[in-house]
Chains A and B, each alone.
Chain A
Amino acid sequence: MDAHQVAMKKKKVPDWLNSSLWISAPPPADDRPQRSVSDLSAAPTEPLTRPPVPVQPPSAARQEPPPEPEVEEPRDGDGGESQESGLPSAEEISRQSQLLAELSRKVVDMRELRKIASQGIPDGAGIRSTVWKLLLGFLPADRGLWSSELAKRRSQYKNFKGELLMNPSEIARRLEECTTCDSELRSDTSGMLSRSDITHGEHPLSLGNTSIWNKFFQDTEIIEQIDRDVKRTHPDMHFFCGDSSFAESNQEALKTMLIIYAKLNPGVRYVQGMNEILALLFYVFRNDPDEENAASAEADAFFCFVELLSGFRDNFCQQLDNSVVGIRSTISRLSQLLKEYDEELWRHLEITTKVNPQFYAFRWITLLLTQEFNFADSLQIWDTLLSDPDGPQETLLRVCCAMLILVRRRLLAGDFTSNLRLLQNYPPTNISHLLYVANKLRVRGSS
């Protein structure tokens, strides 16, 4: 308990967070604090030595489990052994087995899944891909429908690719019904070749607005931008950048998905930053241990990207910037939240040092924090963002508040320049702790 409290004090969180109410038990071996959501609803329970809670064996369950303390006993034999091993803690193992249990049900209980996933999805069993697909609504809860749903979506994506990526020559050829009048190049007949009329006034140099050729060349601009951004995505990762054909095929896939999204959504088209969000999704799906899923990662990632972006679209649409749903209003809501939780910090930031939240929060919000933390941390944050029942946008705002609160001591001591520099290059931090604080903000309200 002492070590934990000392750690908390070092991070200088507000005093109300420091009360013993939140700290219920000695920390587990790797010093990670408890983040169980259930701690709030039920009585604070110990992580390892739990009162025996009746648990339905997952294999037998055919209906919804009873809504009691959600922290279930670990499955037989899984939890006890690996306590000493450095990497996955006992708690992680138990979460992993809970998730696996949940996923092996006939009908996945989404509420249950969200509760477990919001604590973080362990990297061990490679289940993140499936869990995210469930959370984003790409896979239905009923497992029996999975194969048909997947097949349907994947073929839909294939159709998109075929239709939207056709170059105008092919389109022109399909437009004209008669294709039998092609002369052969080296046949025995000779003579003047006859000129035929062009259909619909379509020719490559056409400048008409409805001309497929003209639209093709106009799209080239967007495609150029997508190409540039994709090449710059995560240059330090072999997955995305490098000379290997693997990296190239991944980049091609990213490009294709973004191009199709731009063509299907003329209102938003492509905005710089979408590549980062898509890259994270695609990485997770592509590393699915199941071979078939990994091979269809492109199609799956595309639809999940559409789903994820549907909540955040308004942030990318420039015309909506100043409206009630646009990015500016989101940023001002963040400001309001900070004022509620930590008025002193808010006052110091916005009034005294005049650090307008637009300077740092814009990137935090539109890119869903992918640029602020390293890759592994972003994955963990997204676990929480996607699984929280409040929805990704609300959760994101709470996490942003938590980020500010965690560095409050440095912010309170700094001026405009140093604060801005700090917030635009947010220091690496313990993500579990960050999410823990964000979670506490949910119930706390005003300090």
Chain B
Amino acid sequence: MRCIKGKRKRLILEGRSREKEKKDHLWRVANLWGGTRKMVLVLALGDLHVPHRAPDLPAKFKSMLVPGKIQHIICTGNLCIKEVHDYLKTLCPDLHIARGEYDEETRYPETKTLTIGQFKLGLCHGHQVIPWGDLDSLAMLQRQLDVDILVTGHTHQFTAYKHEGGVVINPGSATGAYSSITYDVNPSFVLMDIDGLRVVVYVYELIDGEVKVDKIDFKKTTTTTAH
């Protein structure tokens, strides 16, 4: 499964060039609104565990996630297979993934940092941080990466935690796959609307078959970090 031969390789390469066209088009579409302040939508999700623990994203999530609306995707890891990677690429060409312990692609980085607008974001799957899901330990990782917002996964539970160093967000599992800790998991993901110095975090959760959306607002006062 690792080495792709012959016809399949050619199809994948063709797909890549078509993808590039679509990517350019989508990139233009998603960034057309010049204006003075650009609005940026960032999708954060992860822990899908396709196909081992879940077949696919819930249909109601898939119907909402259409290409052309989102500018960046950050994924906490554990996709696990390439098909999920390709699907996410169709939603948005700018895709960032950190490696989860079950990912088949071994070349994803352990941690990643990126700057979007005025915010620095950090990405890490979280299985490396022990105790798993411990907020203080995650805060230490955040200070180490020196980011405003740290996005991690692994626990399959949505959390948004604020400490002196910044904010930790866990988008949960987008498919509702069971975790190492619990079976009781609601599918969830997060969409961040970064507008200048403000962030509105929209939390999408599938509870009893219905999509529930909440939000969290926060802002930062200065553009430069003190460290």
Contacts and interface: CB of A to CB of B under 8 A. Distances in A.
Given A193-B167, A217-B69, A207 B64 contact: yes
A196 B37 CA distance: 25
A227 B29 CA distance: 10
B162 A191 contact: yes
Contact of A223 (B33, B39, B63, B66): B33
Given A170-B195, A204-B191, A198 B160 contact: no
B217 A184 contact: no
A167 interface: yes
Interface in A192-208: 192-198, 201, 203-205, 207
Contacts of B204: 203, 205
A168 interface: yes
Nearest to A207: B64
Max chain A Cβ within 10 angstroms of own Cβ: one of B34, B162, B167, B218: B162
Interface string A194-233: 1111100101110100000000010010011001000000
A188 B166 CA distance: 10
B93 to A, nearest CB: 16
Interface in B154-187: 159-167
B162 A204 contact: no
Nearest to A172: B200
B218 A184 contact: yes
Given A205-B69, A224-B29, A185 B219 contact: yes
B130 interface: no
Given A198-B214, A220-B32, A223-B33, A203 B221 contact: no
A205 B64 contact: yes
Contacts of B39: 167-170
A55 to B, nearest CB: 53
Interface string A149-191: 0000000000000000101111011000000011111111111
Contacts of A224: 28-29, 32
A195 to B, nearest CB: 4
Given A184-B220, A186-B164, A207 B215 contact: no
A223 B34 CA distance: 11
Interface string B32-69: 11110111010000000000000000000001111011
B213 A203 contact: yes
Interface residues of A, number: 37
Interface in B175-226: 191, 193, 195, 198, 200, 202-204, 213-221, 226
Contacts of A193: 160-162, 167, 216, 218
A415 interface: no
B32 to A, nearest CB: 5
Nearest to B136: A190
Interface string A325-351: 000000000000000000000000000
A185 B218 CA distance: 6
A225 to B, nearest CB: 10
B159 A192 contact: yes
A198 B160 CA distance: 17
13 contacts: A167-B33, A173-B198, A183-B217, A185-B162, A186-B226, A190-B164, A192-B159, A192-B161, A193-B218, A196-B214, A204-B41, A204-B193, A205-B65
Interface of A: 165, 167-170, 172-173, 181-198, 201, 203-205, 207, 217, 220, 223-224, 227, 252, 255
The 6 closest A-B pairs by CB, nearest first: A185-B220, A190-B163, A195-B214, A205-B64, A183-B218, A193-B160
Given A205-B66, A207-B64, 10 more contacts: A167-B33, A167-B38, A183-B217, A183-B219, A185-B219, A191-B162, A193-B162, A194-B216, A195-B160, A203-B213
